[in-house]
Chains A and B, each alone.
Chain A
Amino acid sequence: MADEITLEVVRYRPELRIEPVVQSYQVPLREHWAILDGLTYIKDHLDGTLSFRWSCRMGICGSCGMTVNGDPQLTCATFLTDYAPGPVRVEPLRNFPVIRDLVVDIGDFMDKLPTVKPWVIRDVDSPVEEGEYLQTPEELDEYKQFSMCINCMLCYSACPVYALEPHFLGPAAIALAQRYNLDSRDEGASEREDILSSPEGIWACTFVGECSAACPKDVDPAAAIQRYKLTAATQAIKNFLLPRGAR
């Protein structure tokens, strides 16, 4: 095994007012080294000006998403040896405006998230003194998968619909809405209906499926969207056929 590998990092430096450029760095190729270790090596020893986000380096905080050889990846959970002999191209996540180097602006998602009301909505809150809301393991399983989202934005980066239609709510936001809709403790599905069923909601999705392929946590946001399409369609028919009280 060669003892070095080339990282081709796509860099954007706003002060220079030019298009992004590729800069190559040689980093050690070692077992257990993630792409992220290569990047921190660059920052510590070769070039302090390279900017990127990271924190937990255990695949749970969702900071370190980047495009690696064309695919959206968590760089702390993607290993250099898998790309040997290289070179490896590291770019910022696609479909987001780039702030600098590998740092993208996810403000759009942060603004959309509250609009789907990702919190428990109850008709009547019972006081905690009365103990927990009961929930069987089966009821937990109903929504558990959709609660695993770490907001890493890989799915948005993989989604061509989001690229073409930036108003699209997007995979993770819809999955999180479904996470609450399917939670037996929640009674807020009707409050989420308008936004989810809007043209920017589920109907913008044409089931490319890349979001689920990219998701590092097996959230399967595509499934969340398709399930809600069925729910929304049934609801629409009910609204059409049944008198108000019976829906």
Chain B
Amino acid sequence: MTASHDVLVIGGGGAGLRAAIAVAETNPRLRVAIVSKVYPMRSHTVSAEGGAAGVAADDDSLDEHAYDTVSGSDWLCDQDAVEAFVHEAPRELLRLEHWGCPWSRQPDGHIAVRAFGGMKKKRTWFAADRTGFHMLHTLFQTVLSFPEIVRYDEWYVTKLLVDDGRTYGVVAIDLATGRTETITASAVIVCTGGCGRVYPFTTNANIKTGDGMALAYRAGAPLKDMEFVQYHPTGLPFTGILITEAARAEGGWLLNKDGYRYLQDYDLGKPEPTPVMRSMELGPRDRLSQAFVHEQAKGRTIDTPYGPIVHLDLRHLGAELIDAKLPFVRELCSKYQNIDPVTELVPVRPVVHYMMGGIHTDIHGATPIQGLFAAGEVACVSINGANRLGSNSLPECLVFGARAGRAAALFAGLYGGRIPPAVMAQGRDEEDRLERELTRHLDGRERIADIRTEMQITMENGSGIYRDRDSMVKAFDELQELQARFADAAIDDHSRTFNTELVALLELSFMLDVAESIITCALHREESRGAHQRTDFPARDDERFLAHSLVQREPDRAGRRVRYLPVTITRWPPGERVYGR
């Protein structure tokens, strides 16, 4: 079976939906479709809490947003991309406002903005603390007003069809029926989100398994800056549920076991009763998570069955502010931790949150493979460099989702046409492979969950907040072993109808590839920068590494190659990252 479209978007999160609308708006004659492994409104964008950054206030400027982003990234972002981003973000957020997003408002009816970590000015738009939820549903409901956008809900993409350096579509499984289908398209936009599930303790949903990164990697596209994994400083123990940075932006404090605001010991400024921009609790995430590790080493964290924790103190904010600005935080704490932040301390610890790296794209979302585009967390443009600032990711989905959509529409308009027979053969091969996959593991001995858990622990030990050569070499070897064991993975479920075990198997295989790319890049980068901290190379090394790592499969798929691409610097030469001073 085959279906055919002009532009195919993989992923129905913030980036994917925005991209699809951009295609429809750019060229209404194009047949555009969205494939998503969950209903679009279930995509992980729905979980984002804090807000979306875009210059709005009179005392703010695009340059300041750009500078905060560049210094936050430890100078590893591309400054032309950042300039485009800060320029287009407010417009995209306004567009969402026109589509109905219920942004929180000032009394006079204008958009309200809040402070966020690493930002010098208040510029984070928010919809209480359910920003991602409201953005995603607004986008999804707006997509419903475009009847020309076709959806494949609950279809799982297993392969990108690439021939001679050009994309022609995908192969996907319809989960409800188990039918596999080749879906061809002149242009494909990958918007499949991040890969937090490669780690054991993460804020990321079950669906964030790095599928798109692995799809592109296998198709020969380079992945960029994969060693940069963001740990968010405040996740609830056990569940890993995120307590948004907005809680600190509204005035929350981080306290160690002695009730001491420990961040003052880590060059992040002096404790003040009210929040100070780019200081203390409003420092960048990499520095805050690293401070936690040092506190732990000093024995100043609190041990719990779910690991060491510190406390987030919101009590002084009062019930009224918490209910108005952080209602979801209160709901999450009471549901999942049995505590009320109005009267009690919230236990928190660093948690894997976001992937700075991803599929290498240019400023229009184009990858080196013709007709293949990427946007959102799966892509690396890069505006995030070595450390993303909170609230830059949602607007990134909009800005670069729209850009990729427009570029793909243009591409599909120019280069539509015939599908080479080799591609159809590839599609049939993949359909056969999936068929075999269902039976191949009949008498396997390894449980999927065991391999997955071991991979996650390997990643945490090998490339956590701090890493060194030995731990990474060990992790790399373990991953090779896990790859070998994966071949012997068992699958109990041989049904075609909604086979979630088959999906778990395919996801695991994607995650193993992504994990390998993370460790590979991390091993090669012999310096410390942003979220990549090596105890054996503790200093930043601009001489050698003011450059993006690109990791690519060798054509024979056996080996992998890492090369470096210089960072684009337009106006802000590399300097020291200064917070709280």
- Chain A residue contacts of B552, Cβ below 8 A: none
Residues of B within 8 A of A105 (CB): 176
Residues 84-108 of chain A, each 1 if its beta carbon lies under 8 Å from chain B, else 0: 0000000000000001110101100
CB distance from A34 to the nearest CB of B (A): 8
Chain A residues whose C-beta falls within 8 Å of the C-beta of B97 in the assembled complex = 128, 132-133
Does B332 make an interface contact (CB < 8 A)?
Answer: yes
**A15/B98 contact (C-beta < 8 A), A55-B207, A58-B336 known:** no
Query: What's the Cα separation between A100 and B108 when bound, in Å?
Result: 51
How near does chain A come to B35, taking the closest CB pair, in angstroms?
15
Once bound together, how far apart are the Cα atoms of A1 and B103, in whole Å?
46
Does A99 contact B498, Cβ atoms closer than 8 Å? yes
A174 CB to closest chain B CB, in angstroms?
14
Are A62 and B105 in touch, CB under 8 angstroms? no
- The residue that B109 contacts in the complex, of A54, A103, A135, with Cβ under 8 A, is A135
Interface class of chain A by DSSP: loop
Closest to B41 in A: A151
The answer to whether B495 and A15 touch across the interface, beta carbons within 8 angstroms, is yes
- Give Cα A180–Cα B137 distance, bound, in whole angstroms: 13
B449 and A54 form a contact (CB under 8 A) = no
Instruction: State A61–B99 Cα separation when bound (angstroms).
Output: 21
The residues of B that contact A203 with a CB separation of less than 8 Å are: none
**Is A118 on the interface with B (CB-CB < 8 A)?**
yes
Q: Is the CB of B335 within 8 A of A77?
A: yes
Compute how far the CA of A57 lies from the CA of B205 in the bound complex, rounded to whole angstroms.
Answer: 7
Contact between B205 and A55, CB atoms less than 8 A apart: yes
Interface-side segment among B138-146, B226-234, B557-565: B138-146
Kindly supply a per-residue 1/0 record for chain A positions 122-145, scoring 1 wherever the CB is within 8 Å of any chain B CB and 0 otherwise.
Answer: 000110100111111101100110
Is there a chain A Cβ closer than 8 Å to B239's Cβ? yes
Query: Which of B42-50, B363-371, B412-420 contacts its partner?
Result: B42-50
* CB-based contact A119/B99 at 8 Å: yes
A44 near B449 with CB under 8 A, answer yes
Judge whether A185 and B498 touch: CB under 8 Å: no
Q: How many A-B residue pairs have CB under 8 A?
A: 166
Report if B362 contacts A (CB, 8 A): no
Residues B493 and A140 in contact, CB atoms below 8 Å apart: no
Of the candidates B104, B106, B134, B144, the one whose C-beta lies within 8 Å of that of A119 is: B144
Instruction: Report which of B102, B336, B500 forms a contact with A32, defined as CB distance below 8 A.
Output: B336
Bound complex: CA of A99 vs CA of B205, how far in Å?
23
Whether A8 is near chain B, meaning CB under 8 Å from some CB there, is no
Are the CB atoms of B241 and A134 closer together than 8 Å? no
Report chain A residues within 8 Å CB of B496: 15
Verify if A52 is at the interface (C-beta below 8 Å from B).
yes
What is the minimal beta-carbon distance from A131 to any residue of chain B, in angstroms? 7
The reply to whether A48 and B448 contact each other, CB–CB distance below 8 Å, is yes
Contact with B along A167-211 (1 / 0, CB 8 A): 000000000100010010110000000000000000000000000
Contacting pair A135 B145 (CB below 8 A): no
A:47-73 near B, CB below 8 Å? 47-49, 51-63
Which residues on A sit within 8 Å (CB–CB) of B454? none
B497 CB, min distance to chain A CBs, angstroms: 5
On chain B, the residues within 8 Å of A117 by CB distance are 145
In the complex, A113→B501 CA distance in Å? 30
Is B152 in the interface zone, CB < 8 Å from A?
A: no
Choose from B111, B490, B492 the contact partner of A47 (Cβ within 8 Å): B492
In the assembled complex, which residues on chain A have CB atoms less than 8 Å from the CB atom of B95? 128
Chain B, range 87-102, C-beta contacts under 8 Å to A: 91, 94-95, 97-100, 102
B492 touches A99 (CB 8 A): no
Q: Which residues of A contact B103 (CB under 8 A)?
A: 132
A45, A126, A139: the one contacting B447 at CB < 8 Å is: A45
**Interfacial chain A residues near B42, Cβ < 8 Å:** 55-56, 61-63
Contact status of A131 and B47, CB under 8 A, knowing A44-B447, A48-B493: no
Q: How many whole Å from A104's CB to the nearest CB in chain B?
A: 10
Q: How far does the Cβ of A44 sit from chain B's closest Cβ, in whole Å?
A: 3
B108 contacts which of A54, A128, A134 (Cβ < 8 Å)?
Answer: A134
Is there a chain A Cβ closer than 8 Å to B133's Cβ? Answer: yes
- Known contacts A119-B145, A128-B94; is A136 also within 8 Å of B108 by CB? yes
Interface residue total, chain B, C-beta cutoff 8 A = 63
Verify A60–B108 contact, CB threshold 8 A: no
For B478, the chain A residues whose CB sits under 8 A away are none
Instruction: Identify the closest chain B residue to A118 (Cβ).
Output: B141
Q: Taking the complex as formed, is B27 at the interface, i.e. its CB lies under 8 A from any CB of chain A?
A: no
Q: Given A56-B44, A185-B100, A136–B107 Cβ distance below 8 Å?
A: yes
Q: Does B130 contact A (CB under 8 A)?
A: yes
A60 near B130 with CB under 8 A, answer: yes
Contacts of B100 on A, CB cut-off 8 Å?
Answer: 119-120, 180, 183, 185-186
B46 contacts across to A, CB distance below 8 A: 56, 60-62, 150
- Smallest distance from the beta carbon of A68 to chain B beta carbons, Å? 15
Closest chain A residue to B448 by CB distance?
Answer: A48
Q: Report if A227 contacts B (CB, 8 A).
A: no
Q: Please state if A48 and B492 are interface contacts (CB–CB under 8 Å).
A: yes
- Nearest CB in chain B: distance from A167 CB, A: 20
B452 nearest CB neighbor, chain A only: A44
**Inside 8 A of A13's CB, which chain B residues have their CB?**
495, 497
Alpha-carbon distance between A45 and B490 when the two chains are bound, in angstroms: 12
Q: Are B239 and A51 in contact (CB under 8 A)?
A: no
Return the chain B residue nearest A63 by Cβ: B42
Q: Decide yes or no whether A147 CB sits under 8 A from chain B.
A: yes
Residues from chain A with Cβ under 8 Å of B153 in the complex: 110
Q: Are the CB atoms of A134 and B47 closer together than 8 Å?
A: no
Report chain A residues within 8 Å CB of B495: 13-15, 49, 100
Q: Could you tell me the distance between the alpha carbons of A149 and B137 in the complex, rounded to whole angstroms?
A: 9
Cβ B134 vs Cβ A147 within 8 A: yes
Measured between alpha carbons, how far is A136 from B104 in the docked complex, in Å? 9
Q: How near does chain A come to B109, taking the closest CB pair, in angstroms?
A: 3
Q: Which of B64-85 contact A (CB under 8 A)?
A: none
Shortest Cβ distance from B350 into chain A, in angstroms? 18
B176:A99 contact, CB within 8 angstroms: yes
Asked whether, in the complex, the Cβ of A137 is within 8 Å of the Cβ of B144, the reply is no
Residues of A within 8 Å of B41, CB to CB, are 61-62, 150-151
User: B335 touching A59 by the CB < 8 A rule?
Assistant: yes
Query: Chain A residues with Cβ under 8 A from B94's Cβ?
Result: 128, 131-132
Q: List 28 A-B contacts (CB under 8 A).
A: A14-B497, A32-B238, A44-B447, A44-B449, A45-B447, A45-B449, A49-B495, A53-B500, A55-B38, A55-B44, A57-B239, A58-B242, A100-B498, A105-B176, A110-B153, A119-B100, A120-B142, A128-B94, A128-B95, A132-B98, A134-B109, A134-B110, A139-B109, A147-B102, A147-B134, A150-B41, A151-B39, A185-B100
Q: B residues touching A (Cβ–Cβ < 8 Å)?
A: 38-39, 41-44, 46-47, 91, 94-95, 97-100, 102-111, 130, 133-134, 137, 141-142, 144-145, 147, 153, 176, 205-207, 238-239, 241-242, 331-332, 335-337, 447-449, 490-493, 495-501, 504
Closest 3 CB pairs of A and B: A134-B109, A44-B449, A48-B492
Q: Chain A: residues with CB nearer than 8 A to chain B? A: 13-15, 32, 43-45, 47-49, 51-63, 77, 99-101, 103, 105-106, 110, 113-114, 117-120, 125-126, 128, 131-137, 139-140, 143-144, 147-151, 176, 180, 183, 185-186
